[in-house]
Structure 1
Amino acid sequence: MCAEASHPAVRLAILAKAPLPGRVKTRLIPACGAEEAARVHAALLRHTLAVAAAALPAARITLWTALAHDHPLFVELAARHTIARRDQPEGDLGERMRQALTPGPAMVIGSDCPVLTPALLKRCGEALATHDAVCLPAEDGGYALLGLHQAHPSLFTEIAWGGETVMADTRERLAALGWRLACPATAWDLDRPEDLERWRRSKTGIPHL
């Protein structure tokens, strides 16, 4: 496979759950409670959509929703940023990402990465002009972004999603395909109480809580 600069513009898929108390950011609940965890989740989603809208034209962004597809926050954010909404399909995370990345070139992110910026998102999109894949490896062993020209099935099956070997497994699969990988930066996700404190100490802060 060869990535060519003449490929069409890169799309961005954002996979997001509705901020339902008790259903999101469950690892934060023992420290701050279900309601606060849901508010953190909502704040992260607002941040992610603002970053995406600042980096890419609205026509290239799709919000893929789960848990409650017509949740008021989804409706509000899609209208504010004039982006499309789609229901996430059935299946595990790998299958949902594969479908969101088809057709390529496309990138997929969640809404858990507080250090994602418009400049970094643009760098990832630009990397696909000269590489077959782009990732933002995460400190926990996963990744915060995956971008591909082609969503090859081997990248989405028999991977322990949420585990510490996701990025390593993905690198191995990409190498087996002979695909060139760009990793513009390392990121971290907000999953645990200590991550929440880290974000609160950062310049980004937590808006809309």
Structure 2
Amino acid sequence: MCAKRFITRLPVTLHVLAKAPLPGQAKTRLMPLLGQQGAADAHAELVRFSVANACRAFAPKRVTLWTALEHQHPLFTALARQYGVTLTPQVSGDLGARMRHALNADPGPSMVIGSDCPSITPSLLRLCAAQLADHQVVILPAEDGGYGLIGTQEDTPSLFHDMPWGSERVLAKTRDRLAACGLTAAFPATVWDVDRPEDWQRWLQFRRKPT
């Protein structure tokens, strides 16, 4: 099912999806390098960085942190106090269902990111919002064949249903569905995420750079 061809000028909202940093349940592919607690701590660091970037790009009232695993985890409540973002539990279902629900939680255009893509800077978030003013969809392709951000003007079910989440085919399949629906899309930049041990080393180098 395709969305209507429609452009709105309402302010863009931003949605951040994040798991609670529970040992053994967060950043499991980093566990061979960091151990269970170390991987959980790494995840918490990335969540804090993502929320900080979101609130540097947009007013906190336009940012929602969607929580999973433990909705009242101290990390989430601390971030809500520090930045004034809204905390909302993620719905059940696969990644597509959770992203689509977040994107349609507020009227007007919206964007969603995960918490493991530190290469999405505040300036890049603002650029994506600007692109979404003139396109029906905005996407930041990821180096691994997925994407780090997607934004939509309105509900577009076909972009989120029956997708090969977690595979290198996500972006290609998304492009195919955009074309099939005749939707205009912008792809402002390619980003990278932190998933594997080598990505963590890249992040360590990245965070040492002066801002």
Name the TM-score, length of structure 1 as normaliser.
0.94
Could you tell me which amino acid in structure 1 is paired with residue 198 of structure 2? E
Matches within 5 A, 1:106-117: 106-117=110-121
Distance in structure 2 (CA, Å) of the matches to 1:58 and 1:197: 30
Structure-2 residue corresponding to 1:173: 177
1:125 counterpart (118, 125, 129): 129
How far apart are residue 3 of structure 1 and its match? 4.7
* Structure 2 residue ranges without an equivalent (≥5): none
Partners of 2:40 and 2:142 lie apart in 1 by 22
**Alignment partner for residue 197 of structure 2, among 189, 193, 200?**
193
Where does residue 9 of structure 1 map in the other structure? 11
Would you say 1:140 and 2:144 are equivalent positions? yes
Deviation string for 1:169-198 (max 9, x for gaps)?
111111111111101100011000000111
2:154 and 2:170 map into 1 onto residues whose CA distance is 19
* 1:151 matches 2:158: no
2:94 aligned residue? 92
Distance in 2 (CA, whole Å) between partners of 1:12 and 1:189 is: 18
Query: What is the deviation of 1:126?
Result: 0.6
Over the residues paired in the alignment, what is the CA RMSD in angstroms?
1.3
Query: After the TM superposition, which segments of 4 or more aligned residues of structure 1 sit over 6 Å from their partners?
Result: none
Paired residue type of 2:54: A
> For 1:15 and 1:149, how far apart are their aligned partners in 2?
19
Deviations 1:1-38 (A, max 9, x none): 4453x521011111000000100100010121011111
The SS at the match of 2:112 is strand
Q: Which residue of 2 aligns with 1:59?
A: 61
The question of whether the paired residues in 1 share the 8 Å contact of 2:11 and 2:108 is answered with no
- Identical aligned residues as a percent: 53
Equivalent residue for 1:76? 78
1:31 is aligned to: 33
Q: What number of residue pairs does the alignment pair up? A: 204
TM-score (norm 2): 0.94
CA drift of 1:104 comes to 3.5
Once residues 127 and 24 of structure 1 are traced to their aligned partners in structure 2, the CA distance between those partners, rounded to angstroms, is: 32
Which residue does the alignment assign to 2:168?
164
> Unaligned 5+ residue runs, structure 1?
none
Work out the CA distance in 2 between the residues paired with 1:41 and 1:122.
24
